[in-house]
Amino acid sequence: MTRVFADLRAPEIRELDPGAVAILPVGATEQHGPHLPLSTDFVVADQLARDAVDAFGDDLDLYRLPSLGISKSNEHAWAPGTLWLSARTLLSVLDDVARCLATTPIRKLVFLNGHGGNSALLQVASRDIRLAHGLQTFVMHPSVPADHGGDSPATEQGMGIHAGLDETSVMLHLRPELVRPELGVRSLPERLIGFERVRFGGAVSFGWLSDDFGTDGTIGDPTGATAERGKALYEAMLETAGQSLAEVTRFSLPPR
C-alpha cells in the first residue's frame, strides 16, 4: 500500500492503524536573496518528507500528506513575489487539515516545518489541535534554525538564518539548477554582534523583518556554499528525521 496519503483509496483509509503517523510538510514561497528561488523552504521540507517516508515509512508506519507551499512569511512581505498567509488564516488551514485527519484512524500528526517564520505559530496550532481534535501533534524542522537556538557556521557568527551558507549549500545539492551562487553576497547584521541576550537565538527575542538588515533579503553568508557541504547537511537531516520519527511512533499521551 502506498505511503502517499492522497494516493490511498477510501477503503484503505479505514484500514489504517491508529499508530500510524501523518507528516505534513510546511514550506513557504518567499524571497531568498538574489541567488536562491522563492521555493527554497518548500523544496527542503517537501523533499525531506518524501525521503523520510521512503526510507522509514514501512518500519514506522508513516504517511506523507500533501505539502503546503504558502505559509506565514510576512517578514518578507516587502519583497515582490513573496506569497504569505496571515497568522489567522494559517491557523485555520492547519485546524481544518487536522479536523479532516481526525476522521481517519490516524492519531498522530507531525508538522515538518521548512520555514522558521512558522515555528511559533505551529506550536500554537499543535496545542489547539490537541484540544479541539484529540490528535497528538509534533513540530519538527529539517534542522533547528539559528534564531531558534540552532547552530550557525562560525563565519556567520550565529546569525546565518536566511539564504546563508547552509541553506544555499543544501539547495545546491537538491536543486542546483535553481541556484545562482555567483549572485550571493554576505549580508549580516553586524551591529548585533555585541549583544549577548537580544540576538538571534538569544534569551530575548525580537520582532524583525528581513529588510531590517539589508536590501537584498539575505541574512547570512552564502559565498562559500558548495553542493558537497549541502549533501552532508542533507544526509544528516535525513538521519535526524528518522531518529525523531522513531521517537514520535513510541511517544504516547492518554486518549481524549
Sign of CA dihedral 190, 196, 200, 204: negative
Q: How many CB atoms lie within 10 A of CB 36?
A: 29
With b for 16 or more beta-carbon neighbours within 10 A and e for fewer, the 209-236 pattern comes to ebeebeebbbbbbbebbebebbeebbee
Residue 10 is placed in which grid cell? Answer: 477510501
Task: Record the pTM.
Answer: 0.95
Helix then strand then coil, % of the chain, to nearest 5? 45, 15, 40
Residue ranges and CATH numbers for the domains of the chain are 5-250 (3.40.50.10310)
pLDDT in tens, the chain (256 residues): 899 999 999 999 999 999 999 999 999 999 999 999 999 999 999 999 999 999 999 999 999 999 999 999 999 999 999 999 999 999 999 999 999 999 999 999 999 999 999 999 999 999 999 999 999 999 999 998 777 777 778 888 888 899 999 999 999 999 999 999 999 999 988 888 888 899 888 889 899 999 988 778 999 999 999 999 999 999 999 999 999 999 999 999 987 7
CB 49 within 8 A of CB 136: no
